[in-house]
Amino acid sequence: MVIRKKNSVKLSDEVTQTPKPFVKWAGGKTQLLNVLLEKIPQKVNTYYEPFVGGGAVFFSLISNPEFKIKNVVLNDFNCELIETYRIVRDELDDLINYLTPIATKYLAGNTEQRKNFFYKVRSSVPDGRVEKAARLLFLNKTCFNGLYRVNQKGEFNVPHGRYKNPKILDVELLTLASHALQNTELICGDFEDSYKKAKKGDFVYFDPPFFPLSSTSSFTSYTKGSFGRVEHLRLKWSIDRLRENNVAMMLSNSPHEWIVGLYEGSKYTINRTPARRSINAKGGQRGAIDELIVV
């Protein structure tokens, strides 16, 4: 059992910002928040996110006075990500203390020194929970395009990003996130396990790894496994069971004809909305693309 520490970092009286994602994650929903929040009930007993990623929808919901949410359960199958959420929630002081000298050393270096330091951190295998969280945040802020990708061995393999002045340690952003995460249940596991207790009056928002529009657009390597056609079918069957039990839900996915075919019919309403994708290894392939919202 992890004993939560009392964080001493406080929000200043002048702070009026709302919490936002503290990691950049593929498929982030910040730009679509207005569209998505319109489809969520204002009163929810328990809010579930089985694929939390960067958590943009959660952070926006929890800080919006129009929404009354009693409980929150956030899940992801990337355990390193969830563990970082826990550290931000429970051990923020230790995280800041550990990450500060790392950020200072990196920012003080020239281009070659930064590159060498990045690969040294990338190849490291820290033992402690706080150290692992600091490593993830450092790599997320300094790797190419803020991408999180691992190989089949589960090793982070994104190259150095060469940003001029990356914000590696944003104490205010982390503090806002830490406050928002208090009293949330954080789980790492299979998506179906996270909402087994969902019932009428609850709400589940699904934002799985998107089904690729082409053979070259696939990006599902958030963990050493993959999320392919079989997993999307299993997700659809699980959503069907939720609908049968009168549990409200919303799904985001790509507009691939196979995904559209899965959800077409009287049970579901399919909406399309344009979204700009900024995470792509090829800059020319970043841009606007429709996203499906299924309710």
The pTM of the full predicted model, rounded to 2 decimals, is 0.90
pLDDT in tens, 202-225: 999 999 998 887 655 544 445 555
Contacts 24+ apart (CB under 8 A), 209-217: 209/27, 209/51, 210/27, 210/252, 210/253, 210/254, 211/253, 211/254, 211/256, 211/258, 211/259, 212/254, 212/256, 213/254, 213/255, 213/256, 213/289, 217/285
Does the structure show a pLDDT above 70 at 177?
Answer: yes
Q: Residue 149 phi/psi, 5° resolution? A: -150, 140
Pairwise CA distance, residues 166 & 183, whole Å: 31
Average pLDDT, the chain: 90
Looking at domain 85-170, does it have CATH number 1.10.1020.10? yes
> Distance of alpha carbon 7 from its chain centroid, rounded?
23
| Percent over 90 (pLDDT), the chain | 74
SS3 26: coil
Backbone φ and ψ for 96, nearest 5 degrees, come out as -60, -45
Does residue 98 register a pLDDT over 50? yes
277: confidence class by pLDDT, cuts 50, 70, 90 = low
What's residue 4's pLDDT? 59
For the beta carbon of residue 228, count every other beta carbon within 10 angstroms: 13
* Mean pLDDT, residues 53-63 taken together: 97
Question: How far are the Cα atoms of 19, 49, 98, 148, 150 from residue 74, in angstroms, in the given order?
Answer: 16, 5, 25, 19, 22
- Look at residue 278 in the predicted model and tell me its pLDDT: 57
CATH 3.40.50.10860 fits 30-79+173-216+227-294, yes or no: no
pLDDT digit string, tens, across residues 222-245: 555 578 899 999 999 999 999 999
Task: Say yes or no to pLDDT of 2 above 60.
Answer: no
- Where are the domains positioned within the chain? 30-79+173-216+227-294, 85-170
**Is residue 121's pLDDT more than 50?**
yes
pLDDT band at 68 (very low <50, low <70, confident <90, very high): very high
- Close Cβ partners of 257 (under 8 Å, ≥ 6 residues apart): none
**167 and 99 in contact (C-beta within 8 Å)?**
no
pLDDT at 152 over 90: no
Whole-number pLDDT of residue 211: 87
